[in-house]
Chains A and B, each alone.
Chain A
Amino acid sequence: MFGGLRQWFDPESAHTEGTTPDYRFSLANERTFLAWIRTGLALIAGGLACAQFLPPLPIARLREIIAIALLVLGGVVALRAVDHWARAERAMRLGIDLPRSRFPAVLAITVAIGAVLLVAAVLYRVVA
């Protein structure tokens, strides 16, 4: 996942390899990065909102666990966004295929499972 970590701290290497791509593709890559950052920020905001607005749930500390899980997920999304940006930029310079990733699918499934668990917890609280 962080295979391109070296590139982060060595920005020159990204500008000597290959050829400069059409700037529109670079800007599209930048917008994709920003969209992922917004996804991460939404997860962070969701975690903070859970901690501040959710009533206490039937399982002790479940609210805090959900909040921390969302915050960790948001942080990972932000770090992964910059890694993916750097790898896509490099792929465009070298003219190779854009990086493929399972991350969006994993994130979607994680969020879906979390939502189902939260619905179950809230319903349990209403019924009990």
Chain B
Amino acid sequence: MTTRDPGASPERTRLAWRRTGLSAAAVALLAARPAVHPGAGPAEWLIAGAALGGWAALAALALHRAPGLRARPPRPAPRSIRAYALITAALAVLGGLVVML
């Protein structure tokens, strides 16, 4: 069972994590954008820091997942998956702050 599909499944999953991290980078940059406008105050800087910190956490989770995928058979990652979803939801809340400021 573990020899039929030795490489493709873990590799596709690793690339899916990477794609998702890149999508998150776009969100973080959009949320951080007000901080580079003239007249940006501490609130904008704080939000930009939180957005980039959130993106760094998502990228770190994707990196953390890679060794589990390389293992044979790949190890499950319920904690990484839960943390990923919660940080994404937190980015949505942060986006709400950006809109209301």
Establish whether residues A64 and B31, one from each chain, have CB atoms under 8 Å apart when the complex forms: no
Q: What's the Cα separation between A77 and B73 when bound, in Å?
A: 30
Known contacts A52-B30, A75-B92, A79-B89; A38/B81 CB under 8 A: no
Q: Give the Cβ gap from A84 to chain B, nearest Cβ, in Å.
A: 10
Contact of B27 among A27, A45, A52, A81 (CB under 8 A): A45
Would you call A24 an interface residue if the criterion is a C-beta within 8 Å of the partner chain's C-beta atoms? yes
Q: Name the interface size band of chain B.
A: 35 or more
List, in ascending order, chain A residues with CB within 8 A of B76's CB.
15, 26, 89
Establish whether residues A41 and B95, one from each chain, have CB atoms under 8 Å apart when the complex forms: no
List, in ascending order, chain A residues with CB within 8 A of B9's CB.
23-24, 27-28
List, in ascending order, chain B residues with CB within 8 A of A67's CB.
95, 99
Establish whether residues B20 and A37, one from each chain, have CB atoms under 8 Å apart when the complex forms: yes
Would you call B43 an interface residue if the criterion is a C-beta within 8 Å of the partner chain's C-beta atoms? no
List, in ascending order, chain B residues with CB within 8 A of A27's CB.
9-10, 12-13, 69, 74
Encode contact with A along B68-88: 1 for CB under 8 Å, 0 otherwise: 010001101111011011101
Q: Give the Cβ gap from B60 to chain A, nearest Cβ, in Å.
A: 15
Establish whether residues A31 and B23, one from each chain, have CB atoms under 8 Å apart when the complex forms: no
Q: Give the Cβ gap from B32 to chain A, nearest Cβ, in Å.
A: 10
Known: A27-B9, A64-B100. 4 other contacts (CB 8 A): A15-B76, A68-B96, A82-B84, A85-B81
The 6 A-B residue pairs whose C-beta atoms are closest, nearest first, are: A75-B92, A82-B85, A78-B88, A48-B30, A41-B23, A51-B99
Residues of A within 8 A of B (CB): 8, 11, 14-15, 22-24, 26-28, 30-31, 33-35, 37-38, 40-42, 44-45, 47-49, 51-52, 64, 67-68, 71-72, 74-75, 78-79, 81-82, 85-86, 89
